[in-house]
Amino acid sequence: MTVIVYDHPLSPYAQKVKIALQEKGVAFRATLPVAIGSGVSSGEFAQASPRGEVPALVDEDGTRVFDSSIILQYIEERWPDPPLLPATPAERARVRMLEDVMDTHFEAITWGLAEIEFFGRASGRLAEQMKKEASRQLAGWFDWLERQLGERPWFNGDAFGWADLCVAPFLNGAAGFGHVPQGALGDWQRRVNERESVAACVAAALSASAENSGVGLDPVRVALDQGLFKREYRDHRLEWMIKTGGLRVVEQGLEKRNIRFTPPFGEV
């Protein structure tokens, strides 16, 4: 049995997992779940991911793991060589804090931009105000990330590792909306995207984006309007939408039933 990663090429969380596996030299099969985005999952995917989210990993022995951070921990323990975490407890804590920031505060901004740009959740003056605020927020996070990088060649330290694979997908997501860091952080982004494992994820994401643009967003927006396509609004995403002026966006999503939150496991 081959290692399976339930995946969507545009998911930065799934990209983290795929980069880690490639860096470890672990062969895997990336599988797009059926009806992803509908809010309904079934079969092996539902067993592997009770939240109905990607990524989820199924190991060769049938072990199932969900949540990208927990999957990374599993990968590090299951395939310890080469190590992706730094050696000392202090450095490992620093790296894990970076991962948490990117997974929550940073991702919420690019996710919110997708809600506006791709899914038409806001328009006119509200959309412009929210995009302007997102730009301000991203600039602040770029400054913070540059300070975390400091004089290091890599976020992980002297060599590419856990911290770098946790930052790269999210920074690339921001670049897709025209927000590209400059200075040392921009130099790091260019170097990290030249790495084979990262470049493979970038290529898959670009291919998926091209396919989506070829089909057009109108069918997706129609499905969204009918409640057949549901976007997940839990945790920091919900916080971002409200604090950035999108309370009415949330209210409309609830009215149209095209946003979702995590149900009790077993009801996905």
Q: Which domains are delineated in the chain?
A: 3-78 (3.40.30.10), 89-215 (1.20.1050.10)
Looking only at the bridges linking them, the beta strands covering 56-58 and 28-31 are unpaired
Q: Which band of pLDDT confidence, cut at 50, 70 and 90, is reported for residue 268?
A: low
Residue pLDDT, tens place only, 28-40 = 999 999 878 777 7
pLDDT score recorded for residue 213: 65
Tally Cβ neighbours within 10 Å of residue 123: 9
pLDDT (mean) for 85-93: 98
Torsion of CA 152, 157, 162, 165, to 10 degrees: 30
Handedness of CA 126, 134, 105, 40 (dihedral sign): positive
pLDDT score recorded for residue 214: 58
pLDDT cut 90: percent of the chain above it: 85
Residue pLDDT, tens place only, 20-75 = 999 999 999 999 998 787 777 889 999 999 999 999 999 999 999 999 999 999 99
Distance CA(220)–CA(119), nearest Å, equals: 8
Burial of 208 (0-12, 13-18, 19+ CB in 10 A): middle
Residue pLDDT, tens place only, 209-256 = 887 765 566 787 888 888 888 999 999 999 999 999 999 999 999 999
Distance CA(144)–CA(123), nearest Å, equals: 30
Distance CA(103)–CA(90), nearest Å, equals: 20
CA atoms within 13 A on the CB side of 189: 21
Provide the whole-model pTM: 0.96
